Structure formats: C-alpha cells, structure tokens
Chain A
C-alpha cells in the first residue's frame, strides 16, 4: 500500500509540474503578450516596453518560467490586475466557499441518486424506471444556466419562497447563517450531476445482480431487500467512489455557472469575472488550483477505492 501511494503521488507531482508549464505558456501565448492585455489596445510601444521591463517579461522564457516557479513555491501567484489583491489571498478566501457549495450539492445528488438508481434497477424496464430515467435525462440535458433561471423564476419570483441570490457573507458561517439563500444554488448543482450518478448506480446494480454471489446469497435465505442493499450495493459503491474523484472537473465546471448566476462568492464567480475583465493572474491562479485539485482528486479516488475494495487492497500489499 505504501509503495502504491508513493508511486501514485510521484505521478501526480509530475502532472502538476506539467500543469504549471502549460499555465505559464498560456500566459505567454496571449496575442501581444500580457502587456497588451492589461494596458489595452491603445497602449504605445514605449508603455509596453516599460511594462515588460517592470514585470520581467523581457527575459528569456526559461528564465521567466524559473522565476514563475520560484514565486509559485513561495505561494505567490501574482496580483490581480483589477481587484488590487494578491491572487493567493483571493483563492484562500474563495476556495472554501466553492468547496462548501459543491460538497453540499454533491451530497444531495448522491443522497437522491443512490436510492434512485437502486430503485430503477429493481424496476427496470417498467413504467417507473422509464419515467425517472427520462426525467433524469432531461435534468442532465438541461443547460445549467437555464435550469437556474427557471428555478429562480418559479421559486423566487412566482412563489417567493427562497431568495434569488446567494448570501454575500465573507465567512463560511455567515453563508450558512442565511441557508435559505443556498438552497437554489445547491439544488441547481445537484440536478445536473444527479442524472449521471443515478444512471451509473442503476447499471452497476444491474451488472452486480447478474453475478453468481447474488444467487448464493438468495440460496442462503437472504431477503431480496438485503441482497440489494447489502450484498450488491457494497460492490456498486466501490466503483462509484472512483467515479466521484474523476468527476471533480465536471463539478467545478458546474460551479462556474451556478456561482455566476446566483452571484455566489466562490472561485467560480471569481473565475467568471476575471475572464470577462481579462484578469490573467487570477484566471491562471484558478486554473492552477483546479488542475491540482483534479490531480489530487483522482489520487484520492484511487486511494479511497483501494481502501474500500479488498481485492484492490490485496493487490497493493
């Protein structure tokens, strides 16, 4: 097991280094360079040269990469062009909020999707299965922004049960204090992933129901309910855990849309605003953090699966 962790962590580290290279190159691939991006189209050549000199953009690329890397290792991701704040402090402030939102909407999605998937598997090819499958598919196919607008119109305007906007607190506890404002963002995030999860659980349960060990359990006198909820589900969940890890980028993609629509003060909104304002240091900082999170997420998924599935655990020993 220790060997496996070291091996996978080394792999992850390599990927992270590659990510920094790509991010760095992206910064330099901008037409006219970052100077043009920041100073605008009307900037004179002299202004641009001065800017480049001041920011070290006149050095050779490898040199620039090296100083970029050194800065990174010191936690210095640069300073936002627009917000007058360091990128790292912005991330420290925003990342936990996005984690809170995605964790809650994923939890809601799983809470609904697992029982739903099992139920669909047990009622496969019957009316209930077809209806729920179709609904899930519609939920899956609906663009997040559209779904969010519909929810706002229905639950905030037509029947004003919930606020149409997320709370604007600076700390997590202040967000939680106005929980009603979180309901719509959480639901929107959950609906989009729910369909994929329930589909996955459904097919995994069906696959497992065809396994020989299910017949053995029945021959022992195990009730049908117990066969499904204990024997089969334990097998299905091991693979669902892995799926979750690989789903991290998708979850973030969803967060960008959800946060910008509900004006939720997370990384997604930060990213959205930075993209509109050409705030490159912020964009790149977010990309870097998300990439690292993705790598770490899949590593965590592998480890979690190894911890749950005795066969994987045994093979790693």
Chain B
C-alpha cells in the first residue's frame, strides 16, 4: 500500500489483468451439535477492478457468509473449502498475521448498523486513526491526524476536525455510516465490501451513501461488493449482479440484462415480488363512508410530548387524520418523523398533549380506564418485529388467545375454535397453534401476529412497519394476506411505513410526515407522482426504483435538482 493516487478505472478498465477478488468453488459448512449446515455451496464469483458488484439474495442465501469468508471473519465452527484470491494472494491459505495485514488495508468492510458497528467508548478520530496506525505504522502522529482528516473529508463528513473528538452516539445515522466508510477506505483498499450498508438508513440518507460509493469508485478505482436484499439499491449502483439462493449462485449478469431479461426463475420471482411505485388503478377502491356515521379513527391537531418537565420534546405536532371503515391510510415518514408515535397514540398508548383522538366516536381522553379498556378491544396493533412482539415462552395458541382471555371473551373451547379460525385466515392453518415462535420463519411469525391482532375482530388496525423486517418475497405474500383480510373484514387501517412502494399498493390515502408534522396528504397517485411539497419530492426522488435504466434517469434528475 503505497497510498499514491491510482489511475481512474471504469468497470472494464482492468479486464486484461487479474480480477481484484476471485472466488472459486467456495463452500462453507457450519458444524455444530452434530449437525452440518451447508451455508455456501461451490460459489464462484470474480470482481474486476473498479467494478461495483451486487450480491443479492434473501436472508439465509449465503451472501454475507460469502463475504465474511473472503475476509476470513467466519466463526471457528465454519469449514471453508475452495479458493479465494485477492490479486495474487490466496486468502483461504493465508495465515492469521497475513490476513490481518490485508484486512482494513487491501479490503475494507462496511457493516449494516453503524451505531452498533462502531465502538461506543472511543472517539471517531481514534477509531479511524487506529486503522491507519495498524497498516501504516511509520507515520508520525501529525501525519496520521492529517490522514484521518483527509479521509473523513473524502467520506463527505462536514467539519471533520470537530468529529475527531466526537463519539459515535453524538453523530446522526448517516454521519456514522460515513465514518464507517472513512474507516474502510482509509488505507485506500483495492476492494470494499459493503454488507447491507444502507439497510438501516432512511432513503434520503441511503441515496447519499450510494452516491458516495460511486464517487469513491470513480476517484480511486476501487472495486466494490455491495451485499443487499434491496433491488432498488442494486439497480442504483451495481454494474453486475450475482443472485444467490440457499447458498448457491443462481444467476450472474450485468445489471441492465438482469433486470430486463432475468434468466433464472428465482430471479424473476424475486423481481416480481419487489413492490414498485405504481400509479394505483384508475379508481382506487374508494372507502364507503356511510353518511352520518363517524369515522373509525379521527385525530385532530394531535400533539404528543415526551421527556421530563422543563425539557419537553414535542414528537408529534398538529397532526390530523381520519380513517373510515374499510379504508387504508398510509402514514409515511423517515425515522424520527413521529409516525409510530401517531400510531401508538391512536390506540391510546400515549396521551395527547394537545388535540383529540376519537375511536368509533369516543374521545379517548374522556373515557374512564374501564371504558378505554373496553374500547381497546376494537383496536389492534401489529408491530415491525414479530420475533420480539410475540412472547417466546408462549405457544401461538396462548399468544393468539390472550386478547380473548384478557377481555373475558368466550370460553376455553370457543377460544380454541377462534384461534384455529384466525390461523386459517392468515393461511397458517390450525396446525401451527401448538408451536413456539422460534419454530417459525419470519413471514410465518408476522402472519401469527396478524392473527393475534384480528382475533377480537377489531374495527381499527394500526400496522407499524409490519413487513419491513421481511424478505421481499415473504413481504409480498404477507401483504397479500393482509390486503385480502382487510377487504374481507373491512377494518379501518393505519398503515405506517417508510416504503413508498408498499403504500402505493395498499392505501387510498397517503400522509407524509416529517419532524412531527404532516407535510402533505392526498391520494397516492397525486402525492407520490405529482408531489407539491419539496420534502415529498426529495423523499420520492431518493427511493431507488428496481429498474437500472429508470433509476439512472431518476438519479440524474435528483442530482440536477440538488444543484440548482
């Protein structure tokens, strides 16, 4: 690592030379408790100089294991065979000291959740300096600090000098991820592996990070492996795509070809499962609003505050919305926008600091505890992570029957029947009643929590990012079940999400929130396609669409609009 500037290389600049990373016949098995799991099976992937390769697949497809194998970061229970070459070095056969001299110097790595991936008790400057000190030990302290400042600047971090003394928790999510990237590129590696590097970030921040990746590639000619499950991200940055399923590569193709003519059935399935921002059908199923009957949920000028007296923080301010029976309203916003707070307040979990919330015509603030309890029977909540919202020590039968037991609905036998019924409704089947949460997959779990929400036949359902933790194909099937049930039962639904495409599929009305306030509301067709507000425009523009040609056009538009 001389650290000098490299010549700029496009995707195909170094094709006559060795590939940067050449994985051939890689298999990884995990051995534990007498069981062998085949995580990766004879995978061969080559990454060229200056190329951005997307490694795509659903959870358990082996994409991260493949990357970790290249870094030799797998746990000792892993058995690795095959060859992994970085230029002329065989990583699979290298000893630990050699691998350490390559990690962080010739291969940089960026991980998913930057809050957890950075050490909380060391300053940002220290953490970036450490990687420089490890691989360029000859530098003086001053030279090292200069190097840190330089790389922070290259990673697009404003006021780099101030960051040196800051701790990770003092930075925003986007800045934290930029610090991770700065750390990964500090020694000018020839390869950077980004493992779901933008998954935990808001779309606008994600767009900036992806832009930074492209920029770094242009400037240094480094190769980049982007591991993701997000087809929009793939369409946005990748030159070439490798699709993995169950530990095997099912298809490799240049990005345009893959999206235009996917060859493998699984790739087609994966692409068709991706929710797309689409203009809703000409007449979206207008909610039947019976005259004279009140809306199921009516929120007026709601404000919710948190924090101790004297330092109150207004998380939600002046939010109004109405949902009629049978209507789905999509509440969209980035993290910290207050969308979840609105959802929880709607079912009476947070008291309003101002304004009013009425469910089925009853003002929640005026109800006694007992009346509120009775009204809650008509409300249900589905949360993002079903694995933590279902009690791990209760069977599905117990979890689903609990709302009935608490409210004294039915007897043991009739409850049992009802559990079987709702399990059928969410297409799990009564056979699942005796199972524990850990015996189910993510999609099955989320269906079970929908079943629990529906067991008391609610009139209002608040769904808070119910599919955000799921793989796309699973998300598609859960959304389908959800939509069918919604039409069949006709509950009013507040659907909270950050995913514009999902909203465009489901909702007859969209509310965009930012910083606790409503920015824009209207039919999805108009809000998502002809946004009136600057914020909505930015939000819509930042969400990558799963189509490389279209995405390139959108990206140019977006960048042009950012530089007036």
Contacts and interface: CB of A to CB of B under 8 A. Distances in A.
Contacts of A222: 100, 104, 130, 134
Interface residues of A, number: 21
Contacts of B113: 212
B119 A216 contact: yes
B131 interface: yes
Interface in B97-132: 100-105, 108-109, 111-113, 116-123, 130-131
Nearest to A311: B169
Given A212-B113, A314-B170, A218 B103 contact: yes
Nearest to A236: B121
B118 A221 contact: no
A6 interface: no
B135 interface: yes
A238 B120 CA distance: 11
B118 A213 contact: yes
B183 interface: yes
B120 to A, nearest CB: 6
Contacts of B170: 314
A220 B134 contact: yes
A220 B104 contact: yes
Interface in A188-241: 211-213, 215-223, 231, 234-235, 238
B491 to A, nearest CB: 39
A306 B380 CA distance: 41
B131 A221 contact: yes
Given A310-B169, A314-B169, A219 B120 contact: no
B120 A220 contact: no
Contacts of A309: 120-121
B167 interface: yes
B167 A314 contact: yes
Given A216-B180, A219-B103, A221-B104, A238 B134 contact: no
Residue among B105, B109, B135 with most chain A CB within 10 A: B109
Residue among B113, B118, B123 with most chain A CB within 10 A: B118
B73 interface: yes
Interface string A277-317: 00000000000000000000000000000001111001000
A212 B110 CA distance: 11
B258 interface: no
Contacts, number: 75
B347 interface: no
A213 B120 contact: yes
A231 B119 CA distance: 7
A217 B130 CA distance: 9
B478 interface: no
Contacts of B108: 219
B255 interface: no
A235 B183 contact: no
B111 A216 contact: yes
Contacts of A314: 167, 169-170
A213 B117 contact: yes
B188 to A, nearest CB: 14
A222 B96 CA distance: 11
B54 interface: no
A221 B117 contact: no
A231 B180 CA distance: 16
Nearest to B180: A216
B197 interface: no
Residue among A221, A235, A308 with most chain B CB within 10 A: A221
B167 A216 contact: no
A78 B224 CA distance: 78
B169 A212 contact: no
A51 to B, nearest CB: 53
Given A221-B134, A234-B122, A310-B169, A213 B116 contact: yes
Contact of B121 (A216, A218, A310): A310
A129 B135 CA distance: 34
Residue among A216, A218, A234, A235 with most chain B CB within 10 A: A216
12 contacts: A213-B119, A215-B117, A216-B180, A216-B183, A219-B73, A219-B111, A221-B131, A234-B119, A234-B121, A234-B122, A310-B167, A311-B167
Interface of B: 71, 73, 100-105, 108-109, 111-113, 116-123, 130-131, 134-135, 167, 169-170, 180, 183
Would you list the 7 A-B pairs with minimal beta carbon distance, nearest first? A221-B104, A220-B104, A221-B103, A212-B116, A219-B109, A310-B167, A213-B119
